[in-house]
Chains A and B, each alone.
Chain A
Amino acid sequence: MRRYLPYVIVAFVALATFGSGFVLYRAKRAALPPEAKGAPASGIHVRGKEDALVTIEEFGDFQCPPCSLMSRLLEKTEEEYRGRVRMIFHHFPLPNHAHAREAAIVAEAAGMQGRFWEMHDILYREQAAWSNAPDTPSLFNSYAGKVGLDMERFKKDLRDPAIAARVEGDHKLGESRGVTSTPTLFVNTVLLPASELNPAGLHKAIEAALPEKPKS
């Protein structure tokens, strides 16, 4: 009997590992928002190929004018380096921008219906309009309609504390990484200095990051 004991132990551990991994996987999947389930990387907002050589992370504030300019530059950069660059967006609403946090929540609520990036783009594009508007909620609702959201669900999600917590979580993540202003960019985890937040600086940083492809 003792002869078979190691086989029994190994089989038990294999089953326990597979079983616990499966249960954990099911639990984690169930907890993810719908957008995340179809996305290459989830819990955060990613645009581009998962195996892109360069990852640009932006800590942004939808009400910050330089962020709006940066979003256009990033869009062009994504086109230029198609397939080689992917974008990750984190919220970092600044307290001096009255509607920044609200806009971040709007984008997250759109994300719950798989329309984060569409809302991201429209919020930056229309920034001048909603930033100083007397009735921003109405404008946000019109953007939600424009990107094709289910309005009932959108309004319900806006009140969801989990969404606000996600925005807070992004802010804390930014703080833990030394972010104090927006936009802050990391190119393959390397902080892009404020003086380099321009087309030439971004281009240079991406070119420098490209040879970092792992040798396999």
Chain B
Amino acid sequence: MSKRSRDGARKNQAPSRGRVILYSLAGLFCLFGLADATYLTVMALTGETAACSGQAGCFEVLGSAYSKVAGIPVAAFGVAGYFTAFTFAMFAAFNYPRARKFFALAVGVLFASTLWLLYVQAFLLHAFCRYCLFSAAITFLLMGLVVASPAPRPSEK
């Protein structure tokens, strides 16, 4: 399909109001997750993760061997994940083709990572970090939005 006809298809099928609200809301959640992950990344880069304002759970989780992968703070992957999800949410809100699928995929990856990190906190470290729990809550909300989003019309597939 040529660029012009693709754009034409997008214009002809203006997104429903509900869909715009849904993806805008998803974008907003992504921004909260992005802020949280950015803060944690900065803390990890400055070495503050281990102190973490005197919170015991935070100290134990963010100072553990699980907080980095190949020397890169896990939170930095969170920044990338939330930014990717935000990008696709925006494009989905503007009814770009395939954006919804990529958004669902990005949220799926974030959700799977969140489940792993919750497992690590609950069963390996026996400690919870409130920043991580906040991020987990955001991911669960995003997953809820993905599940709740209406199936695309046949012409949109």
* B90 adjacent to A10 (CB under 8 Å): yes
* A42 adjacent to B46 (CB under 8 Å): yes
* A6 adjacent to B96 (CB under 8 Å): yes
* A173 adjacent to B47 (CB under 8 Å): no
**Interface 9-residue window, one of B33-41, B103-111, B134-142, B144-152:** B33-41
Q: For A188, what are the chain B residues with a Cβ–Cβ distance below 8 Å?
A: 64-65
Chain B residues numbered 19-58 whose CB sits less than 8 Å from any CB in chain A: 31, 34, 38-39, 41-43, 45-51, 54-56
* A17 adjacent to B79 (CB under 8 Å): yes
Looking across the interface, which residue of chain B has its beta carbon closest to that of A31? B46
List chain B positions with a Cβ less than 8 A from chain A: 7, 31, 34, 38-39, 41-43, 45-51, 54-56, 59-60, 63-66, 68-71, 79, 83, 86-87, 90-91, 93-94, 96, 124-127
Selected A-B contacts with CB under 8 Å, 12 pairs:
A9-B90, A10-B87, A17-B79, A25-B46, A28-B42, A28-B46, A44-B50, A169-B51, A188-B64, A188-B65, A189-B126, A214-B66
- Ranked nearest first, the 8 interchain pairs of A and B with the lowest CB-CB distance are A43-B51, A42-B47, A28-B46, A189-B60, A6-B90, A177-B56, A176-B56, A6-B94
Query: Once bound together, how far apart are the Cα atoms of A3 and B8, in whole Å?
Result: 11
* A14 adjacent to B83 (CB under 8 Å): yes
Query: Once bound together, how far apart are the Cα atoms of A214 and B125, in whole Å?
Result: 12
CB contact under 8 A between A189 and B64, given known A6-B93, A43-B51, A46-B50: yes
* A21 adjacent to B66 (CB under 8 Å): no
Interface class of chain B by DSSP: helix
Query: Once bound together, how far apart are the Cα atoms of A169 and B93, in whole Å?
Result: 47
Partner of A13, one of B31, B47, B91: B31
Looking across the interface, which residue of chain B has its beta carbon closest to that of A55? B63
B23 to chain A, nearest CB (A): 10
* B34 adjacent to A212 (CB under 8 Å): no
Q: For B38, what are the chain A residues with a Cβ–Cβ distance below 8 Å?
A: 17, 20-21, 24
* B55 adjacent to A176 (CB under 8 Å): yes
Query: Once bound together, how far apart are the Cα atoms of A216 and B65, in whole Å?
Result: 12
Query: Once bound together, how far apart are the Cα atoms of A189 and B65, in whole Å?
Result: 11
Q: For B7, what are the chain A residues with a Cβ–Cβ distance below 8 Å?
A: 3
Q: For B79, what are the chain A residues with a Cβ–Cβ distance below 8 Å?
A: 17, 21
